[in-house]
Structure 1
Amino acid sequence: MNIFADFTSRVLAAIDRLGWKAADGSALDTTRVLVEPPRDASHGDLAVNAAMVLAKPMGQNPRQLAIALMGELATDPDVAEVEVAGPGFINLRLKPETFATLLGAILNAGADFGRSTIGGGRKTNVEYVSANPTGPMHVGHCRGAVVGDALANLLAFAGQNVTKEYYINDAGGQIDVLARSAFLRYREALGETITIPEGLYPGDYLVPVGEKLKADHGDKLLALAEAAWLPIVKPVAVAMMMDMIRADLAALGVTHEVFFSERTLHDRASGTSSIDEMIEDLRGRDLVYNGRLPPPKGQLPEDWEDREQLLFRASAYGDDTDRPLAKSNGDYTYFAADVAYMRDKWRRGFEEMIFILGADHGGYVKRLEAVGNAISAGKAKVVVRLCQLVKLFRAGEPVKMSKRSGDFVTLRDVVEEVGCDAVRFMMLYRKNDAPLDFDFQKVTEQSKDNPVFYVQYAHARCRSVFRQAAADVPSIALDRASLAATPLDRLTDSGEIALIKRLAEWPRIVESAATAHEPHRIAFYLYELASELHGQWNRGKDLPQLRFINVDDPLSSSARLAMVDAVALVLASGLAILGVNAPDEMR
C-alpha cells in the first residue's frame, strides 16, 4: 500500500468532481499534483500541493482553490481534519484507525511492501565498473561498483527488467602495455632479474601471470619476436586479470550478468566487424560524414592535425562537437567502439541504458547521451551518473598505498579490513557526485555515528525482541499473519504513530529514488527508520507501558510486535537493495 499514491488518486478524483478546467476550457495537466509528507510533522500527516500548481493554468487564486478542494477532501472517510495553510497548501490529518489499517497492509504485503510497478518492465542495462583489465580493482572502482550494483537492484525492485553489465576494455594500447608487463614477469619466472621500466605496470599481481606463461610455454617465448609473443601473452594476461577482477567484485558482493568484450567489436573473422557494420548503418542514415574539425580551444595537443576525417554528427544530438570515428592511419578511435557498443545494446532491446562512470569522465556525458539519442532515433533513455573520488583515512590520517598494487589502495584491501557491509553502506551514504571520506576506524565503531552499524543493529534489535517475546509471552502467535490480524488500533502513542508514518514512506522513497537514479536515498531512509525504532525502544526504558513486550498486556504486546516486524521487514528490504546483510544479531 502506497498511501501517498492512494491519496493522490483521491485528490485527483476530488478535482474531477469539482469540474476544474484550465482557463481556456481544456483539461488540466495534473501530473505535478503531489501528496507528500509535510515538511513539519506538526502540520499533519499529508500535504497536498494541488491548488498551488493548478492556480496559474486555471487563472485562479490558489487559496480560493484550496478552500474549495478542502471541502471535497473533508468528506473522505479516512480524513479527520483538513486545513489550508499559507497561500494555498492543504494539510490533511488522518483518523487513527487509518494507521492500524496501514500497518496491517504492510504485514500482509510482506517482502513485496514497497515493490513498485512504475518501471513497467522496461528493459534496462546498467553498465558499471568496466575498469581496464590491467590490474586489481582499486578503491576508486569500489564506489562505482557499489553505486551501480545498488542502482540496478533498486530499479529491479521498482519494476524494471534490469541487466547488470561489465564492458571489458580488452582492445587498444593499454592491453599491449599489460602484455609487455606480464612478459617481464615471465622472464622473472624463468630466473631472470628484471627492472620494470617507466610506463609498464609494476604491481606484483602480474607475478602469477608470468608463472602461468612459464608453465604453459617453458622458455619457448623467449626466442620469439614481440610481434609473435604479444598475441600469445595478451589473452592469458587479460583472462587472469578478469578472474582477479571478478574475485575482487565478488568480495564486494557484486556480480554482473554480462561481460561484454570490446575486442569483439573489432573482430573481422566474418569479414566485417561490428564497428564496420555500425559505420555503414550510420552512413545510410546520414549520421556520419567526411569533414574537418576546428582546433580544440587552448593549447593544441602535439598529435592534433588539421585533416579531413570520418565524423559522427554528435553535435546534432546535443554534444559540444562532432566526434571522429577514425584516426589518420585508418584505425578506429575509441569513440567508434563506444558507438558500436551503444548500437549493440540498442539492438539487444535495451530501452534504458545507464552508465556509472568515474568523476574524470565528465566529458563523456553529452557524447554518450548524443550517441544513444542518434542510434535509437530518440527512443532510448541514456543516463550517466558520475562517482566522485573516495579519500581513505584511518583515525583522521590518510591511508598509505598498497604494496601489492604498486601505486594504489586496492578494493580487496578495504573489504578485508572492514567487511563488505561497511564498505557498501558507506559508499552509498553520500550522493554519488559528492566527495566521500572513508575512515576505517569510524566505519567499525559500534555507535550511532556509524550508520551501517546503527541500521544493522536496528534489524538485529527487532529480531531480538521476537526472541524475547517467544520466551516471555509464549501465548502470543508470532507469525506474520497472526500479527496482522491483531488489534492494531492499540498503537496510539505518538512515537508508535510516527514509526508507522515512517514505514508508510517506504514505497514513495523507492519510487522517488528509482526515478532519480539515486540509491543513496535508500541509505538515508534506512538510517531515519532505524533512528525512529531505537528512539521508541529508549522511550520504553523510561515509560514501561510503552515497552515492546509487556507480559501483563499481551494484546498491546502483540500490536507492538506487529509494528516491530514491519520495521524489520522494511529494513531487510532496504538493506537487500543496497546489497548489505540484515543480521538477526550483532556479534
Structure 2
Amino acid sequence: MSNNQTLYAAFAGHLNAALDALEAAGTLPGGLKRSAITVEPPRDASHGDLSTNAAMVLSKPAGLKPRDLAEALVAKLSKLDSVTSAEIAGPGFINLRLSAAAWLAELRAIAALGADYGRSAVGGGTTVNIEYVSANPTGPMHMGHCRGAVVGDALATLLEYAGHKVIKEYYVNDAGAQVQVLARSAHVRYREALAKKSGGEDVGAIPEGLYPGEYLIPVGEQLAAEFGDKYAAAPESEWLTLFREKAVAAMLVMIKQDLGLLGIHHDLFSSEAELQASGKPDEAEAWLRAKGLVYDGVLEAPKGKTPEDWEPVELPLFKSTAFGDDQDRPIKKSDGTWTYFGADLAYHFQKAQSADALVDIWGADHAGTVKRIKAAVAAMTGADGEPTPFEIKLVQMVQLLRDGEPVKMSKRSGNFVTLAEVVTEVGKDVVRFTMLTRKPEAQMDFDFAKVVEASKDNPVFYVQYANARVHSTLRKAAAEGFAPGGAHLETLGEEELELVKLAAQFPRIVEAAAAAREPHRIAFFLGDMAAAFHGYWNLGNDRVEKRFINAEDGNLTSARLFLATQIGQIIRNGLALLGVEAVEEM
C-alpha cells in the first residue's frame, strides 16, 4: 500500500494541482521540472505546519520573480479546506498552517493503515542489488563486520518498504591468498585431530602466519573423519585445493549461523572462485579492450624512494583515469592471476545485468579503492547509455568497550571478539539498534555496560521503553474499563496535536531515508518520536489533567488512548525497518 493517502503526499498532490492550474492559465510555462520541489515541516515550527520551496525552484526557469509566483500559489493553496493560513516568507518560501481536523484525519490514517503507514511506492519496483558483509570466509563473524552487516540489512528492508525490489548479496572472496592460508591452517588442525585420535605426537603451536583460532578445531576433526590419514604427510599440492573448498564451505556455514543471530539472511552468495572459473573476468577484459578501456602498459614507479626490487612490468591496465581516478589500474598481476580489482570489476559487471542500481556496503579501510571501482562500473554499464547507478557506503569500525575500557580479544577466534559473543551477551535488538544510532561514516564506541543501561541516555532503551509504556498504559486503561476510540478526537489539545504532527512525518522520513540510502535516519526519527512521547507523558506527573487516563472524562481518555496506540504503531513500524522487535513489557 502506498503512502499516497498520507498528509505530506496529499499536500504534494495539492501543490502539483495548483501548479497544473497555473500552467493551464498561462502563468507558468509547461514542462518545468518539479523534482527539486519539497513539502516538509519548516525549520522553525513557529512558521507553520508545512513549507514548500516551489516558488524558489520554479521562478528562474519560469522567468518570474519568486514572490510573484509564491503569491499565485498562495491564492490557490489558501482555498483548501484543510489550510487555515498560507503565508510567504523570505524570498519566496510558502508556509502553511493546517486545521486541527487535518491532523486528526492523519491520526485516523495511521490507525487505518497500521503496519503499512509509511509504506511507499516511490521505488517504482526498480531492483536494487545491495552487497554487504562480504567478509573473507576465513573465520567466524567478528564485530568489525557487524556494523556494515546491520546497515546493509536495514537498508534492504527500508528499500523494500519504499517500493523497490531488493537482492541481498554476499560476495565470497574465496579465490585469494587468504583462503590458501585457511586451507593450510585447517591442515594443521586436521593433523592435530589425527594425533589426538591415535595418541600420536602433538603437532605443537600453530605456525606463524596461519589462523590460530579454535574455531578450526571442528573443521580439522571433520577432515580427519572424512579422509583418515590420507593427507597427513602428503605434499601440499595434493590437498590444498580440496582443503580450501572444504574449509571455505565450513566457514560459510558458520558465517550464516552468526549472521542468523542478527536476523540477517542473504538472497545470494556469489563465489569469486566460481566467477573466475567461469571466465567472467576474461569476458570483462575482452569487452573493455574492445571499447578501448583496457590496454597493455607499464605502471609508474612508486612515489618517493623506489624499492630496489622494483622493475617496470607490462600489465593490462584499465583506463580508470578517463573516469576520474588518479591513475590507471592493473587488472592482472605479473604472474597472470587477477588482481582483486580485476576480479571485482567482473563481479560488478555481472551483478549489474540483473539490477537497476547497485549499492555496496564496505568497511572504511577500503576507501582507497572506491574511485577505481566506481570508474569501472561507470565504464562497463554506461558504454551504450546511462551507467547503472552505483553507490558505495563506507562504514567505520566499532570500538568495543566495557565500562570505558577496551575489551580483551577472544580465545575462540584467536585475535578478535566474535559477533556471536556480543549478541549472546546483549541481544540482537540492542546490537542492531545501536549500530544505527550514528551515521555509518562516524566513529562508534560500543560499550557493553551502556548499551543495556535502562536510562534515557541509552537510545535503544529509550525507544523500546516508549512502546512498552504505550502498552502498559493500554493494559492499565483496560483494567479500569477504558478503551481507545476515534469518536471524540476533537477533545485532543495542541500539545497532543504536536505528537500527531511529528508522527505524520514518518512516511516522508521513510522516502528520504530510502532515497539517500541512509537507514540510520529511521533510528534518529524514532529517538525524536520517543522523546516527544515521554515528554508528553511526563506532563502528567505534575498536571493530573494531562494524564492519558482521566477517570472524570471518558471521551478524552479514549481519544488519548487512541493517540497513544498510533504512536506505538509508528514506533513499531520504524523498529521493524531496523529489524528490531518492539517489546511490550520491560
Give, in whole Å, the separation in 1 of the partners of 2:92 and 2:59. 9
- Counterparts of 1:51-200 in structure 2, within 5 Å, are 51-191=55-195, 192-200=202-210
Residue 423 (structure 2) pairs with residue 418 (structure 1): no
2:18 aligned partner: 14
| 2:55 partner letter | A
Q: Distance in 2 between matches of 1:461 and 1:340?
A: 52
Alignment partner of 1:327 out of 322, 333, 336? 333
User: 1:70-110: CA deviations, max 9, x gaps?
Assistant: 23322121111122223322221111111111111111111
Aligned pair partner of 2:380 in 372, 375, 389:
375
SS at match of 1:80: strand
Which amino acid in structure 2 is aligned with residue 316 of structure 1?
A
Q: Given that residues 460 and 584 in structure 1 are in contact (C-alpha distance below 8 angstroms), is that contact kept between their aligned partners in structure 2?
A: yes
Contact 1:119 1:160 in 2 (8 A): yes
Structure 2 contact 359–390 (Cα < 8 Å) conserved: yes
Q: Distance in 1 between matches of 2:177 and 2:467?
A: 49
Tell whether 2:574 aligns with 1:574.
yes
Letter in 2 for 1:196: I
Cα shift at 1:333: 1.8
The 8 Å contact of residues 393 and 440 in structure 1, kept in 2 or not, is answered as yes
The reply to whether residue 204 of structure 1 matches residue 214 of structure 2 is yes
Using a 3 Å threshold, how does the CA distance of structure 1 residues 300 and 241 change in structure 2: closer, same or farther?
farther
1:199 match: secondary structure: coil
Instruction: Kindly state the Cα deviation for residue 21 of structure 1 after the two structures are TM-superposed.
Output: 11
User: How far apart, CA to CA, are the structure 1 residues paired with 2:311 and 2:570?
Assistant: 59
1:246-304 deviation digits (Å, cap 9, x = unpaired) = 11111122111111111101225xxxx22223323333333322233333434556775
* Contact 2:138–2:182 under 8 Å retained in 1: yes
For the 8 Å contact 1:393–1:437, the answer to whether it is kept is: yes
1:157-212 Cα offsets, whole Å, 9 max, x none, are 11110011111111121111111111111222223232222211111111111111
- Contact 1:23–1:57 under 8 Å retained in 2: no
The alpha-carbon distance between structure 1 residues 498 and 25, as it changes in their structure 2 partners (threshold 3 A), is closer
What secondary structure does 2:231 align onto?
A: helix
Matches within 5 A, 1:287-326: 287-300=293-306, 305-326=311-332
> Contact conserved, 1:22 with 1:28, CA < 8 A, in 2?
no
Give the counterpart letter for 1:383 in structure 2. Answer: E
Q: Structure 1 298/573 Cα, relative in aligned 2: closer, same or farther at 3 Å?
A: farther
Q: Taking structure 2 as the reference length, what is the TM-score of the superposition?
A: 0.93
- Structural mapping, 1:557-568, within 5 Å: 557-568=557-568
CA distance in 2, matches of 1:288, 1:274: 15
Matched residue, 2:265:
255
After superposition, what is the alpha-carbon deviation per residue over 1:112-152, rounded to whole angstroms, capped at 9, x for unaligned?
A: 11001111111111110100011111111011101111111
Aligned to 2:456: 448
Please tell me the residue identity of whatever aligns with 2:368: G
Match of 1:402 among 401, 410, 413: 410
Do 2:401 and 2:407's aligned partners in 1 also have CA atoms closer than 8 Å?
A: yes
* Structure 1 counterpart SS, 2:232: helix
**One-letter amino acid of the structure 1 residue matched with residue 531 of structure 2:** S
CA distance in 1 between partners of 2:24 and 2:37 (Å): 13
Equivalent residue number for residue 284 of structure 2: 278
Indicate yes or no: 2:529 matched with 1:529: yes
The one-letter code matched in structure 2 to 1:332 is W
Q: Equivalent residue of 2:400, what SS?
A: strand
Contact 2:437–2:524 (Cα < 8 Å) also in 1: yes
**Closer, same or farther in 2 for the Cα pair 1:304/1:387, shift >3 Å?**
farther
Helix, strand or coil: the match of 1:392? strand
Q: Distance in 2 between matches of 1:420 and 1:304?
A: 49
| Contact kept? 1:140, 1:389, Cα under 8 Å | yes
Q: Paired residue for 1:336?
A: 342
Distance 1:69 1:359, change over 3 A: same
Q: Structure 1: 5+ residue runs without aligned partners?
A: none
Question: Which residue of structure 2 aligns with residue 5 of structure 1?
Answer: 9
1:234 aligns with 2:240: no
Distance in 1 (alpha carbons) for counterparts of 2:393 and 2:370: 8
* Residue aligning to 2:199: none
Match of 1:362 in 2: 367
* Distance 1:131-1:304 versus aligned 2 partners, 3 A rule: farther
Does structure 2 conserve the Cα–Cα contact (< 8 Å) formed by 1:422 and 1:452?
yes
Which residue of structure 2 lines up, in the alignment, with residue 495 of structure 1?
495
Report deviation, 1:544.
Answer: 2.5
1:427 maps to amino acid: M
TM-score under structure 1 length normalisation: 0.93
Q: What's the counterpart of residue 217 of structure 1?
A: 227
What is the CA deviation profile of residues 311-337 of structure 1, one whole-angstrom value per residue up to 9, with x for unaligned ones?
223333333332222222222222221
In 2 relative to 1, CA 374–186 (structure 1 residues): closer, same or farther, beyond 3 Å? same
Report the CA distance between 1:26 and its aligned residue: 6.5
Report the residue type matching 1:506 in the other structure. F
| Amino acid of the structure 2 residue aligned with 1:201 | Y
Let me know the Cα RMSD of the aligned residues: 2.2
Distance in 1 (CA, whole Å) between partners of 2:137 and 2:519 is 27
Contact 1:473 1:551 in 2 (8 A): no
CA deviation vs aligned residue, 1:386-418 (integer Å, no higher than 9, x gap): 001111111111212222222122212221221
- Please give the alpha-carbon distance, in whole angstroms, between the structure 2 residues aligned to 1:323 and 1:446: 52
Q: Secondary structure at the match of 1:166?
A: strand
1:374 shift after superposition: 2.0
Quick check: 1:23–1:59 contact (8 Å CA) kept in 2? no
SS in 2 for 1:386: strand
The answer to whether the aligner puts 1:345 opposite 2:346 as a matched pair is no
Q: Deviations over 1:449-499 (max 9, x none)?
A: 01011101111111222222222125x4x5xxxx4x5232222x2221111
Partners of 2:414 and 2:316 in 1: how far apart? Answer: 40
The one-letter code of the counterpart of 1:140 is G
Where 1:291 maps in the other structure, the secondary structure is strand
Separation in structure 1 between the aligned mates of residue 580 and residue 444 of structure 2, nearest angstrom: 19
- What is the rounded CA distance, in whole Å, between the counterparts of 2:476 and 2:507 in structure 1? 30
- Matching residue of 1:36: 40
What is the alpha-carbon distance in structure 2 between the residues aligned to residue 305 and residue 159 of structure 1?
Answer: 53
Partner of 1:429: 437
> Equivalents in 2 of 1:406, 1:451: separation in Å?
32
Opposite residue 171 of structure 1, the aligned amino acid is A
Segment drifting more, 92-101 vs 327-336: 327-336
Distance 1:423 1:229, change over 3 A: same
SS of the equivalent of 1:309 reads strand
Partner of 2:256: 246
From 43, 52, 59, give the equivalent of 1:48.
52
Higher deviation after alignment, 522-531 or 211-220: 211-220
Report the Cα distance in structure 2 between the residues aligned to 1:115 and 1:472, rounded to whole angstroms: 35
Work out the CA distance in 2 between the residues paired with 1:364 and 1:151.
22
List structure 1 segments (4+ residues) > 4 angstroms apart after TM superposition: 19-27, 299-304
| Residues 351 and 379, structure 1, Cα contact 8 Å, conserved in 2 | no
Q: Which amino acid letter does the alignment assign opposite residue 364 of structure 1?
A: T
SS at match of 1:31: coil
Q: Following the alignment from structure 1 to structure 2, what is the Cα–Cα distance between the partners of residues 322 and 20?
A: 53
1:20, distance to aligned residue in structure 2 (A): 9.7
Q: Distance in 1 between matches of 2:291 and 2:155?
A: 34
